[in-house]
Structure 1
């Protein structure tokens, strides 16, 4: 901490009426996130197992997109909960990390790029999942059949993501001490972590902040439009204008699978988008609570857990496979418990015979 920050901490900051709040501290985002990862890991492994080994023949054409989507969802969960757990100061646009990579001294800039990359790949995997499913439908007039067209399509999808990260990285202030002084004019009473951790301010200009506030939702809507378009075409060509060449049974299975994948994706995305929307709306309204931001980060860490549980529950073949695995586990457990009883019974019988 520089002399200017030390002076502010010793004088101005003492006037802030801040009481210790576990959820607002670094522990309030680090400990729950790490616990979420421990709980999520078995479910993520289970989801990998059923996708790879229990996918029926009827779902073979969607196994790869489903596996890719689950892989990046799980890796995003690993990044947010373990590798680069984020502590974010929203009104000050500053951050530091309390994950494993910080223990090894990995710079904040690299961790920001890592988190951004994983968010990009995860969102892209949802697009790949729905686009792959949509392109299978022969009756779909908008399906992508040429590899060159697909490359252009995904490049257009990536433009705002690449532009936004370049926007942030380019304007990261070199003089972080001056940036922190500017940040304190935006929010004079941050949590003590602002002074005790290596916080990096990545936007320290009112005009740049104002631009980012409006660019971020515009880019979000732009990216979401790609996924929503694929979802819309799926709903239209399966539920409204299905192919007349397929059987009723095939059409029914398509509708069931469509409902399953929509539910599978809707559940985890809700855990992320709703808290982010609430925090962003509160920020625009001039309200800010560090507890709210930390809970949003923890909620984002639940995305992988919810996605894994959704996979093994909403799809009937996977649900049936998990049920059979649970039944087999209970059967073997009972068998293991019975073996000592039988052994004791046999020893007792032998002892009784010898006594006679």
Structure 2
């Protein structure tokens, strides 16, 4: 049986409730709109980091800039370049973004997206490691550049091992799709109308990736971040240096709290839909509307991350307030000046002076 035969003979019997949210438009249009809204905030955040970073934060200015750049790139990939329509139960995916419109194969887009996502995750480790290593009293600080490069490369390449999964992608996609339909017999009609890529047809490999390897990636990343957080907290709160001024320590504590919330807020934005989907799938419930809504919600990551940076850091928050207040005051003074000129001209005209 071919896919066409299945669609004619079997799919017509499926009772699939089709609506906008379940369609490809329910992923593409909201995601593109999110990118349009997020772009000004991302540009503002770049400007704030480059121009408004105080001297006491210069040691982490580059890690903060790199983290924001990679998060913005992830947002562009998710919402514009490689917006994905995902069939979760069968590891099926196709793109509805700009690269798909240009004819870039789905497998290339998927590899590109995974590398960007891994880089963004690793940038958080780099951010916390830089904060920890900037404390001279920290016995575990990484002081040598070569050691830092080796350390972060190990983390990056361990996470990149997930790319080996793509060597298991079925070469016969027609047969893989028919096999996937035995697991999920009634997908939305996009499954038959678009060039869907079945990433994994081997259920054992899919279970290994889903339940063992991906959790191990998140675990090792979380443990690295927690280690650097522990070192920073210990040497700032429990055993602070006596040679560092109180004002400097206060700034260091404030920045630590800032990057903690800067990390947690976008993390919750990504983790919440993943947890909900996992629980629903384990209970035997799945809907394409839920999948598409989760993809859109994850696409908010860049907007949330940008807003978090300029609001949780005290100095950045003050800089943004000052920028908008100055702009408002200039416009107000200009309006008052023009209004005064108008009234003055009118009065002179009325007196016959002009």
- Give the TM bin, normalised by the shorter chain: over 0.9
1:353 aligns with 2:351: yes
Q: TM-score if structure 1 supplies the norm length?
A: 0.94
Aligned to 1:337: 335
1:204 counterpart (201, 206, 210): 201
1:126: which partner in 2? Answer: 124
User: 2:188 maps to which residue?
Assistant: 191
Instruction: Find the residue that maps to 2:352 and give its secondary structure.
Output: helix
The secondary structure found in structure 1 opposite 2:94 is strand
- Over aligned residue pairs, what C-alpha RMSD do you find? 1.8
For this pair of structures, how many residues does the alignment match? 353
Instruction: Note the C-alpha offset of 1:174.
Output: 0.8
- Name 2:136's counterpart in structure 1: 138
Distance 2:173 2:337 in 1: 67
Structure 2, unpaired ranges of 5+: none
1:1-356 equivalences under 5 Å are: 4-167=2-165, 169-214=166-211, 215-354=213-352
Q: How far did 1:193 drift?
A: 1.0
Q: How many angstroms apart in 2 are the aligned matches of 1:197 and 1:334?
A: 54
Instruction: Tell me the distance in 2 between the aligned counterparts of 1:177 and 1:78.
Output: 31
For the residues of structure 2 that align with 1:55 and 1:12, how far apart are their CA atoms?
61
Alpha-carbon distance, 1:314 to partner: 1.1
Query: Could you tell me how far apart the structure 2 residues matched to 1:234 and 1:355 are?
Result: 73
**What TM-score do you get using the length of structure 2 for normalisation?**
0.94
Report the secondary structure of 1:252's partner residue: helix
Post-superposition shift, 1:337? 3.1
Contact persistence 2:125–2:221 (CA under 8 A)? no
* Change over 3 Å in CA distance of 1:149–1:285 after alignment to 2: farther
Could you report, residue by residue, the CA deviation over 1:259-281 in whole angstroms, capped at 9, with x for unpaired residues? Answer: 11101111111101121122123
- CA–CA separation in structure 1 for the residues paired with 2:61 and 2:353: 65
Q: C-alpha displacement at 1:70, in angstroms? A: 0.7
| Matched position secondary structure for 1:23 | coil
